[in-house]
């Protein structure tokens, strides 16, 4: 029994209660795939757990089991989607409305029925006004009509591409209960930390610094689910600790590369532990070099091309990511086949060519072999972004550019890059979220105010790219819109407002007893209704 | 010289001196033995130690030579340790001498400032200072000095308080020397020895503080330091423990060397009758 291996007193107490109250022991003894407690590692404790407001992976990791979106990403569903709270969705020809048919017979965890009014409230009051992603996707949402309890019609003031809405469904449409939020200050509502949703698990307990506990929703709309009785998120902020906890069977699963990449080769040989690299296809992170175009040297395309030629993408993939990544060709990852094109200019690793380009640009090496100096700010969020920073410094030294590394904590890094513009080069890990319009075009678009995080704050202005982005935003026809984004990729790689280096998904490490991992391309942040434990 | 003779007869002192001499040699020879940037990627990543003659201590996650890191790290550690201790002692001596000699309001004011620095744990102070001003060698040195100057200041003040009543100070006053001249030319040199005895502890503390700051990612990322090497190795502790152990041993030997030397110095300075025959 896994329960016996839990070390924390609080957990044991919870475990004892859980066992008394549930049928778990019987289910486990019968060796059925149903029941049991899954203990997983959590590396952060988000202050606000409401996924309708904070659409980020750290929040989804916990909240997606409790609060569901209208649709989830899928390996084999139509348009890469499978239904959740909506059973069907259809866009109008003129791009001014989208009609959702909602699932019937769904109840909230507090027993109230789920209706189209909840969807209308979430869309107009939360996604559009408060959510980091919804603010742009639903910017033109005017009203949501609810002709009956199972129909919601989204009406837009300007034509809005249905393709964009569809691609944003898994990440931007978490539905929250209107009856708990209406008439309150949504941003500070207590239900943001004690979640109430429609999902397969109920939010039961949170001990700061120790664990979150979710328990089975007996009244879940899918009667075959969930298979687990409980999910416990043990807070393990120390990344070195997750591997040891897995080996000691204190936890059964660590997602989001909580086990460092360098430890995977060793831990994959430990009996009873498996390393899984699938389940993150719709959560592709991109390793990019952000460029401050206000620096006169970097405003020169030849210098940017030289830097692109100086980066050995094979080294980055093989050594920094230990093979758990792919070299990027442009701003859209291969994992987004709907938009991806390989028909873009390429920059081979070629130090001689890089040096020649810099000579051509007029930046001759001085007596000490240096052409000019730069400030390089690697984002501190991942080991890999910091290691790439250290590598990039060496790669630049090889072409005579003296890069001085500046290390900051997250808050100081964001302020330096996105507000103060106090950088020359920065290393960033933006996420591709299923559609270029969600979080990718903002990386090169001009005219954004200072302070907008993860956006073009390098002072890059290109009328060509700006017009492609603006045109795509109002192109309803899916094929025409896709063609525009292929052109977008070509232009970005040709003009290098930023340099795409690599793209990666995360790694899950789990005990062999955990089954059905992964079952969709956003697995770690999906509802885990079909996840099971072998008895 | 009697002092040198006594020092060499003290076992720990001699061992410490040998360790420090070796480290100093390593620091001085580093740019000759390992020219260029020690952070450059020199070979295949994660080569185990003693397997490749080109990298006797192996290579790290990115393929940087660990031996080159240890040698260049000695430079950083010793330089920061000595510079920070020197700065702390200099500030401490000046403040302590002024406070002790001037007395009255100036003494009160300076000592309350010293109190303020002493009640904040030194490491926290350094941490706050570096994270506000940004990580670079000069700020790290200044941060460590700021967290370590108060003790020598108090020591110097106590010493000055007793010296300023001596006859030669009174004589200097009578011949009309300027008070500052008396303070720094007559009193300070005589108040120096006990403060210098304290220096070794300050140096060892400074080396450790620098390593701890680097370990937390607050060192200068453009310079190799042992603390940063240990921190980098920590991510692969299970797969390649040597990456943390080797710079860790270097750090231990440096701090041990400084302590042993200070032991030897105090042995040598101790009056003869106090020692076992």
Non-local (6+) Cβ contacts of B50 within 8 A are B56, B58
Q: Does A351 touch chain B (CB under 8 A)?
A: no
Domain that holds residue B105: 68-260
Q: Does A320 touch chain B (CB under 8 A)?
A: yes
Angstrom distance (rounded) from CA B234 to CA B57: 17
Q: Out of A333-342, A490-499, B122-131, which region has the weakest mean confidence (pLDDT)?
A: B122-131
Contacts A–B by Cβ distance under 8 A: 60
Confidence of residue B273 (pLDDT cuts 50, 70, 90): very low
Q: Annotate A464-523 with DSSP letters as a single string.
A: HHHHHHHHHHT---HHHHHHHHHHHHHHHHHH-SEEEEEEE---EEEETTEES--SSTTG
Angstrom distance (rounded) from CA B92 to CA B94: 6
CB contact under 8 A, B61 and A387: yes
Name the residue in chain A with its Cα closest to that of B234.
A240
The token duo for A321 is 């990511």
Q: Which residues of B touch A315 (CB under 8 A)?
A: 41
CB contact under 8 A, A406 and B218: no
Mean pLDDT of B242-259: 93
Q: Pairing relation of β-strands A97-102 and A151-156?
A: antiparallel
Mean pLDDT of B116-129: 89
Q: Does A410 touch chain B (CB under 8 A)?
A: no
Q: Which residues of A touch B131 (CB under 8 A)?
A: 409, 412
Query: How near does any CA of chain A get to the CA of B64, in Å?
Result: 10
Name the residue in chain B with its Cα closest to that of A241.
B235
Mean pLDDT of A73-78: 91
Does ipTM surpass 0.85 in this model?
no
CB contact under 8 A, A390 and B62: yes
Say if domain A67-187 classifies as CATH 3.90.76.10: yes
**What pLDDT, on a 0 to 100 scale, did the predictor assign at position A30?**
39
Q: Is A59 left (phi over 0), alpha (psi -120 to 50) or beta?
A: alpha
A515 CB burial (10 A radius; 0-12, 13-18, 19+): middle
Name the residue in chain A with its Cα closest to that of B224.
A390
Q: Does A94 touch chain B (CB under 8 A)?
A: no
Confidence of residue A520 (pLDDT cuts 50, 70, 90): very high
Residue B85 has pLDDT above 70, yes or no: yes
**What pLDDT, on a 0 to 100 scale, did the predictor assign at position A191?**
92
Sign of the dihedral through C-alpha B230, B235, B238, B243: negative
Fold exhibited by the domain A1-46+199-279+506-535: D-Maltodextrin-Binding Protein; domain 2 (3.40.190)
Angstrom distance (rounded) from CA A69 to CA A58: 16
Terminal Cα distance for chain A, rounded? 8
Mean pLDDT of A206-229: 93
Which of B40, B63, B222 lies at the smallest CB-CB distance from A319? B63
Q: Which residues pair with A39 in a beta bridge?
A: A232
Which of A265, A383, A394 lies at the smallest CB-CB distance from B40? A394
Each residue of B7-39: b (16+ CB within 10 Å) or e? beebeebebbbebbeebeebbeebeeebeebbb
Q: How far is CA B142 from CA A473, B145, B158, B207, B210, in A?
A: 53, 5, 25, 13, 11
**What pLDDT, on a 0 to 100 scale, did the predictor assign at position A13?**
42
CB contact under 8 A, A260 and B236: yes
Query: How near does any CA of chain B get to the CA of A387, in Å?
Result: 8
CB contact under 8 A, B39 and A391: no
pLDDT single digits (tens) A386-428: 999 999 999 999 999 999 999 888 888 999 999 999 999 999 9
Which of B61, B221, B234 lies at the smallest CB-CB distance from A407? B221
Residue A21 has pLDDT above 50, yes or no: no
The token duo for B167 is 């006859």
Angstrom distance (rounded) from CA B14 to CA B23: 14
Total structural domains in chain B? 1
Query: How near does any CA of chain B get to the CA of A322, in Å?
Result: 10
Q: How far is CA A28 from CA A219, A439, B1, in A?
A: 21, 44, 82
**What pLDDT, on a 0 to 100 scale, did the predictor assign at position A533?**
92
Angstrom distance (rounded) from CA B246 to CA B49: 10
CB contact under 8 A, B239 and A404: no
Calculate Rg over the CA atoms of chain B: 22
Specify if B53 maps to a domain: no
Q: Does A413 touch chain B (CB under 8 A)?
A: no
Helix axes B11-33, B242-269, angle to 10 degrees: 130
**What pLDDT, on a 0 to 100 scale, did the predictor assign at position B271?**
58
**What pLDDT, on a 0 to 100 scale, did the predictor assign at position B245?**
95
Length of chain A: 535
Residue position matching structure tokens 């659409």: A55
**What pLDDT, on a 0 to 100 scale, did the predictor assign at position A525?**
94
pLDDT single digits (tens) B12-53: 888 999 999 999 999 999 999 998 889 888 888 888 899 988
Residues of chain A with pLDDT > 90, as a percent, come to 76
Q: Pairing relation of β-strands A37-42 and A230-235?
A: parallel
Residue A370 has pLDDT above 60, yes or no: yes
Angstrom distance (rounded) from CA A376 to CA A408: 11
pLDDT single digits (tens) A429-461: 999 988 999 989 999 999 888 888 888 999 999
| CATH code where residue B114 lies | 1.10.3720.10
**What pLDDT, on a 0 to 100 scale, did the predictor assign at position A1?**
37
Q: How far is CA A388 from CA A175, A215, A312, A320, B62, in A?
A: 38, 40, 11, 7, 9
Q: Which residues of A touch B234 (CB under 8 A)?
A: 240
Q: Which CATH class is domain A284-504?
A: alpha beta
Q: Which residues of B touch A387 (CB under 8 A)?
A: 61-62
**What pLDDT, on a 0 to 100 scale, did the predictor assign at position B1?**
59
Residue A165 has pLDDT above 90, yes or no: yes
Mean pLDDT of B162-173: 88
Query: How near does any CA of chain A get to the CA of B152, in Å?
Result: 33
pLDDT single digits (tens) B98-110: 998 888 899 999 9
Angstrom distance (rounded) from CA B201 to CA B223: 25
CB contact under 8 A, A240 and B234: yes
User: Hey, where are the domains in chain A?
Assistant: 1-46+199-279+506-535, 67-187, 284-504
Length of chain B: 277
Asked if the peptide bond before residue A226 counts as cis, ω within 30 degrees of 0, the response is yes
CB contact under 8 A, B63 and A393: no
Residue B274 has pLDDT above 90, yes or no: no
CB contact under 8 A, B235 and A393: no
Residue A150 has pLDDT above 70, yes or no: yes
**What pLDDT, on a 0 to 100 scale, did the predictor assign at position A400?**
95
Q: Which residues of A touch B37 (CB under 8 A)?
A: 394, 397
Name the residue in chain A with its Cα closest to that of B221.
A405
CB contact under 8 A, B61 and A266: no
* Segment of A123-137, A296-310, B6-20, B142-156 carrying the highest mean pLDDT: A296-310
Residue A305 has pLDDT above 80, yes or no: yes
Confidence of residue A33 (pLDDT cuts 50, 70, 90): low
Mean pLDDT of A30-35: 59
Specify if B61 maps to a domain: no
Name the DSSP letter for residue B267: H
**What pLDDT, on a 0 to 100 scale, did the predictor assign at position B232?**
87
Q: Which residues of B touch A260 (CB under 8 A)?
A: 235-236
Q: Which of A177, A193, A194 is nearest to A46 (CA)?
A: A193
Each residue of A421-442: b (16+ CB within 10 Å) or e? eebbbbbbbbbbbbbbbbbbbb
**What pLDDT, on a 0 to 100 scale, did the predictor assign at position A230?**
94
Mean pLDDT of A39-60: 89
Name every residue in B having a CB less than 8 A away from some CB of A. 37, 39-41, 45-46, 61-63, 131, 134-135, 217-218, 221-222, 234-240
Name the residue in chain A with its Cα closest to that of B42.
A394
Q: Does A406 touch chain B (CB under 8 A)?
A: yes
Helix axes A478-495, A162-172, angle to 10 degrees: 80
Mean pLDDT of chain B: 87
Residue A485 has pLDDT above 80, yes or no: yes
Q: Out of A81-85, A200-204, A498-502, B165-169, which region has the weakest mean confidence (pLDDT)?
A: B165-169
């Amino acid at each position: 029994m896994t329960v016996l291996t839990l070390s924390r007193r609080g957990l044991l107490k919870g475990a004892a209660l859980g066992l008394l109250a549930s049928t778990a022991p019987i289910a486990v003894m019968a060796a059925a795939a149903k029941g049991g407690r899954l203990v997983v590692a959590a590396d952060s404790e988000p202050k606000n757990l409401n996924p309708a407001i904070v659409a980020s992976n750290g929040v989804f990791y916990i909240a997606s089991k409790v609060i569901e979106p209208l649709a989830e990403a899928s390996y084999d569903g139509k348009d890469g989607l499978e239904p959740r709270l909506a059973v069907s969705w259809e866009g109008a020809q003129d791009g001014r409305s989208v009609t959702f048919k909602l699932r019937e017979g769904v109840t909230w965890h507090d027993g109230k029925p789920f209706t189209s009014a909840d969807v209308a409230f979430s869309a107009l009051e939360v996604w559009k006004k408060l959510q980091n992603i919804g603010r742009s996707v639903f910017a033109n949402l005017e009203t949501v009509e609810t002709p009956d309890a199972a129909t919601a019609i989204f009406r837009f003031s300007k034509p809005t591409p249905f393709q964009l809405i569809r691609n944003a469904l898994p990440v931007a449409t978490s539905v929250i209960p209107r009856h708990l939020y209406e008439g309150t200050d949504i941003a500070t509502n207590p239900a943001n930390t004690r979640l109430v949703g429609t999902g397969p698990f109920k939010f039961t307990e949170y001990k700061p610094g120790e664990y979150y506990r979710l328990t089975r929703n007996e009244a879940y709309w899918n009667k075959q689910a969930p298979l687990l009785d409980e999910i416990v998120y043990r807070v393990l902020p120390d990344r070195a600790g997750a591997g040891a906890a897995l080996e000691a069977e204190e936890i059964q699963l660590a997602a989001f590369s909580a086990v460092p990449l360098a430890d995977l080769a060793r831990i994959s040989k430990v009996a009873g532990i498996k390393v899984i690299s699938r389940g993150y296809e719709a959560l592709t992170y991109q390793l990019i070099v952000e460029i401050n175009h206000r620096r006169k040297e970097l405003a020169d395309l030849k210098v940017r091309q030289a830097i692109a030629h100086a980066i050995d993408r094979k080294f980055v993939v093989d050594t920094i990511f230990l093979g758990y990544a792919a070299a990027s060709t442009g701003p859209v990852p291969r994992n987004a086949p709907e938009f991806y094109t390989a028909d873009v200019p390429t920059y081979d690793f070629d130090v001689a060519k890089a040096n020649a380009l810099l000579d051509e640009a007029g930046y001759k090496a001085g007596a000490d072999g240096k052409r000019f100096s730069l400030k390089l700010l690697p984002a501190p969020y991942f080991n890999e972004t910091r290691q790439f920073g250290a590598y990039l410094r060496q790669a630049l030294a090889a072409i005579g550019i003296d890069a001085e590394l500046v290390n900051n904590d997250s808050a100081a890094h964001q302020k330096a890059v996105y507000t103060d513009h106090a950088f020359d080069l920065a290393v960033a890990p933006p996420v591709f979220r299923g559609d270029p319009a969600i979080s990718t075009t903002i990386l090169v678009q001009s005219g954004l105010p200072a302070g907008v995080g993860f956006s073009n704050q390098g002072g890059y202005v290109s009328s060509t790219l700006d017009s492609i982005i603006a045109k795509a935003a109002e192109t309803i026809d899916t094929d025409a819109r896709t063609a525009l984004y292929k052109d977008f990729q070509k232009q970005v790689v040709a003009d290098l407002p930023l340099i795409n280096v690599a793209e990666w998904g995360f790694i899950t490490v789990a005990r062999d007893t955990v089954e059905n991992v992964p079952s969709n391309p956003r697995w770690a942040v999906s509802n885990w209704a079909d996840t099971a434990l072998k008895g | 010289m009697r002092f040198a003779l006594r020092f060499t007869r003290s076992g720990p002192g001699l061992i410490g001196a040998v360790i420090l001499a070796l480290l100093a040699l390593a620091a001085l020879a580093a740019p000759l033995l390992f020219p260029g940037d020690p952070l450059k990627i020199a070979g295949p990543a994660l080569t185990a130690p003693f397997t490749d003659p080109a990298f006797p201590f192996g290579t790290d996650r990115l393929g940087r030579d660990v031996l080159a890191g240890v040698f260049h790290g000695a430079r950083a550690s010793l330089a920061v340790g000595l510079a920070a201790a020197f700065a702390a002692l200099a500030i401490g001596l000046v403040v302590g001498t002024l406070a002790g000699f001037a007395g009255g309001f100036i003494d009160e004011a300076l000592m309350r400032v010293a109190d303020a620095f002493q009640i904040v744990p030194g490491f926290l102070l350094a941490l706050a200072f570096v994270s506000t001003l940004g990580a670079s060698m000069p700020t790290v040195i200044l941060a460590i000095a700021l967290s370590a100057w108060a003790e020598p200041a108090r020591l110097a003040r106590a010493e000055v308080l007793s010296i300023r009543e001596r006859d030669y100070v009174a004589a200097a006053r009578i011949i009309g020397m300027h008070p500052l001249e008396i303070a720094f030319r007559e009193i300070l040199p005589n108040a120096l020895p006990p403060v210098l005895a304290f220096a070794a502890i300050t140096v060892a503390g400074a080396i450790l503080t620098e390593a701890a700051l680097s370990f937390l990612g607050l060192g200068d990322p453009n310079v190799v330091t042992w603390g940063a090497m240990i921190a980098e190795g920590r991510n692969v502790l299970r797969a390649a423990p040597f990456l943390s152990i080797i710079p860790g041993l270097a750090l231990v030997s440096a701090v041990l060397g400084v302590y042993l030397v200070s032991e030897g110095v105090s042995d040598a300075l101790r009056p003869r009758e106090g020692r076992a025959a």
